[in-house]
């Protein structure tokens, strides 16, 4: 699987939950999702879309602990390579 990037995450979040107050990108990698403007249900909805698009399974609890884009990307890419292995 090719790497799931911060741009990919920004796009999925917009599709899942609408435009945020802060753009999801390189400058907001370590900004809290709450500050960016996405709550836990927005992230749950985004996680569901990522699972469908990439054909992977994400653990709800692990997703819930990923409070910034960097942490969220790490969960997706770790799971993506685990499922590919």
Partner 1 sequence: MKSVVITGTGVTAPNGLGKDDFWDATRAGRTGIGPVGRFDATGYPSTLAGEVPGFVARDHLPSRLIPQTDHMTRLALVAADWALADAGIVPSEWPEFGIGVMTASSSGGFEFGQGELKNLWSKGGQYVSAYQSFAWFYAVNSGQISIRNGLRGPGGVLVSDQAGGLDAVAQARRQIRKGGGLVLAGGVDGSICPWGWVAQIAGGRLSTDPDPGRAYRPFAADAAGHVPGEGGALLVMEEEDAARARGARIYGRVAGYGSTFDPHPDTGREPGLRRAAEIALRDAALRPSDIDVVFADAAAIPDLDRVEAEAINALFGPGGVPVTAPQTMTGRLNSGAGPLALSTALYAMRDGLIPPTLTRDPSPAYGLDLVRDTREAAMSTALVLARGQGGFNSAMVVATAEAPVAAPA
Residue ranges binding partner 1 (CB under 8 A): 14, 16-20, 37, 41-42, 44-45, 48, 51-52
Minimum CB distance to partner 1 smaller for 6 or for 42 = 42
CB of 75 to partner 1, least distance (A): 17
CB of 15 to partner 1, least distance (A): 8
Minimum CB distance to partner 1 smaller for 43 or for 73 = 43
DSSP character string of 12-81? HHHHHH---SS--SGGGTTS-HHHHT--HHHHHHHHHHHHHHHT----HHHHHH--SHHHHHHHHHHHHH
CB of 44 to partner 1, least distance (A): 4
């Amino acid at each position: 699987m090719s790497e799931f990037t911060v741009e990919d995450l920004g796009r999925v979040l917009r599709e899942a939950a609408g435009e945020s107050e802060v753009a999801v990108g390189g400058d907001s990698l370590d900004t809290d999702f709450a500050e960016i403007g996405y709550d836990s249900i927005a992230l749950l909805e985004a996680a569901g879309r990522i699972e469908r698009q990439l054909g992977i399974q994400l653990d709800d609890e692990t997703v819930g602990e990923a409070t910034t884009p960097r942490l969220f990307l790490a969960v997706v890419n770790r799971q993506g390579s685990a499922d590919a292995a």
